[in-house]
Amino acid sequence: MEVIIRARGIGKGVGTGPLLVTDAPISFLGGVDPTTGVVIDPGHPLEGQSIAGRVLVFPHGKGSTVGSYVLYGLARNRVAPAAIVNAEAETIIATGALIAGIPLVDHPEISLAELPAGVTATVDADAGEIQIEEGT
C-alpha cells in the first residue's frame, strides 16, 4: 500500500530511496563531505551516515551560501541525496537542489517527525508529492 503526502514542489524531478530523517538543520559546507556524501559535522545526529541515494529529510539548511555548491558537488560526484524534504527550504538548499538537479519539496502536510526513517519513499517535485511505500 502506498501513502501519498502532499507538499510544495520546488524544482523538478523524481527521486526514490530510503528515508534518512533528522530534526537538526544541515550545513553542507563543512557538514557533509562532498566526495563521499557522509555527514561529517561533529555532534550532528546523522554524523557518520551517508546521504547518497537517500531521501534526506531535515527541517532547513544553515550556514554559508557555498553550501549550494556543495550540493552541486555531491551530484557531480554521484553521492547526492536522491531527493530532499524540508519543513522550509530556504535559499541555500533550494538553489543547491536546483543546480544539482535534486528533487526538493517542502511544507509537507505532516510533520517531518512522522516520516518513518528507513522506509522507501519517492519524492515527485513536479507533482508536489511524497509517496511512502508502507511495509518496506
Active-site residue list: 64
Residue recorded with cell 555527514: 39
Alpha carbons 15 and 38: distance in angstroms, whole number: 19
Contact 17, 51 (CB under 8 A): no
Alpha carbons 116 and 20: distance in angstroms, whole number: 9
119: which 3 cell numbers? Answer: 522506509
Which residues, including other chains, have CB under 8 Å from residue 50's CB and lie 6 or more apart? 36, 37, 38, 39, 79
